[in-house]
Chain A
Amino acid sequence: MKPAPFAYVAPRSLGEALALMTRHGDEGKALAGGQSLLPVLNFRLAQPAVLVDLNAVPELELLAAADDGGLRMGALTRHRQLEREPLVAARAPLLAEAVHHIAHPQIRNRGTVGGSLAHADPKAELPALAVALRARFKLQREGGERWIDAADFYTGLFSTELQSDELLTEVVWPAQPAGSGWAFEEAARRHGDYAQVGVAAIVRLDDAGRCADARLVFLAVGDGPLVASRAAAALVGEAPGEAPIAAAANVAGEEIEPRGDVHASPEFKRHLARVLTARVLRRAFARATDAGQAEAPRG
Chain B
Amino acid sequence: MAEPLREPATSLSVTTHVNGVEHTRSVEARLLLSDFIRHELGLTGTHVGCEHGVCGACTVLLDGEPVRSCLILAAQVDGREVTTVEALAPGPEKLHPLQEAFWDSHALQCGFCTPGILMTLVAYLRDNPNPDEEAVRLALSGNLCRCTGYQHIVDAVLLWAQRAAAVGTVAGGSAADTAAPKPESSRA
Cβ-defined partner of B71 (8 Å) among A4, A28, A110? A110
Q: Which of B8-16, B84-92, B162-170 contacts A (4 or more CB under 8 A)?
A: B8-16
Interface size class of B (residues with CB under 8 A): 35 or more
Interface size in chain A (residues, C-beta < 8 A): 46
CA distance in complex: A81, B76 (Å): 20
User: Assuming the A-B contacts A7-B29, A38-B53, A106-B120, are A53 and B75 also in contact, with contact meaning beta carbons closer than 8 angstroms in the complex?
Assistant: yes
Cβ < 8 Å to A, chain B residues 33-68: 35, 51-53, 56, 59, 62, 65-68
Question: Do B9 and A1 touch (CB < 8 A)?
Answer: no
A164 to B: closest C-beta gap in Å: 15
Chain A residues with Cβ below 8 Å from B51 are 1, 42
B141 to A: closest C-beta gap in Å: 4
Question: Do B71 and A8 touch (CB < 8 A)?
Answer: no
CA distance in complex: A52, B9 (Å): 11
B38 to A: closest C-beta gap in Å: 13
Closest to A111 in B: B71
Question: Do A15 and B66 touch (CB < 8 A)?
Answer: no
Question: Do A7 and B6 touch (CB < 8 A)?
Answer: no
Interface: A19 (CB within 8 A) = yes
Cβ < 8 Å to B, chain A residues 70-111: 77-78, 80-81, 103-107, 109-110
Chain B residues with Cβ below 8 Å from A35 are 53, 68, 71
Cβ-defined partner of B3 (8 Å) among A16, A80, A103? A16
CA distance in complex: A78, B187 (Å): 10
User: Assuming the A-B contacts A1-B51, A107-B53, A107-B142, are A38 and B70 also in contact, with contact meaning beta carbons closer than 8 angstroms in the complex?
Assistant: yes
Interface: B28 (CB within 8 A) = yes
Question: Do A191 and B138 touch (CB < 8 A)?
Answer: yes
Question: Do A106 and B67 touch (CB < 8 A)?
Answer: yes
Chain B residues with Cβ below 8 Å from A191 are 138, 141
Interface: A43 (CB within 8 A) = yes
User: Assuming the A-B contacts A6-B10, A10-B6, A16-B1, are A110 and B75 also in contact, with contact meaning beta carbons closer than 8 angstroms in the complex?
Assistant: no
Interface: B108 (CB within 8 A) = no
User: Assuming the A-B contacts A3-B30, A39-B52, A42-B51, are A105 and B142 also in contact, with contact meaning beta carbons closer than 8 angstroms in the complex?
Assistant: yes
Interface: A263 (CB within 8 A) = no
Chain B residues with Cβ below 8 Å from A107 are 53, 68, 71, 142
Chain A residues with Cβ below 8 Å from B32 are 2-3, 38, 42
CA distance in complex: A167, B124 (Å): 34
Interface: B21 (CB within 8 A) = no
| Apart from the given pairs A10-B75, A13-B3, A106-B120, 17 other A-B contacts in the complex at a CB distance below 8 Å | A4-B30, A5-B28, A5-B30, A6-B10, A7-B10, A8-B12, A13-B1, A19-B5, A34-B73, A38-B71, A50-B8, A77-B188, A104-B142, A106-B68, A107-B53, A110-B71, A191-B141
A-B contact pairs, 30 of them (CB 8 A): A1-B52, A2-B30, A2-B31, A2-B32, A5-B28, A7-B10, A7-B29, A8-B75, A10-B6, A10-B75, A12-B6, A19-B1, A23-B5, A38-B52, A38-B71, A42-B32, A42-B70, A51-B8, A52-B8, A80-B65, A81-B188, A105-B66, A105-B124, A106-B59, A106-B142, A107-B53, A107-B71, A107-B142, A110-B71, A191-B141
Which 9 residue pairs across A and B have the least CB separation, nearest first?
A: A104-B142, A7-B8, A8-B29, A39-B52, A9-B8, A38-B71, A78-B188, A15-B1, A3-B30
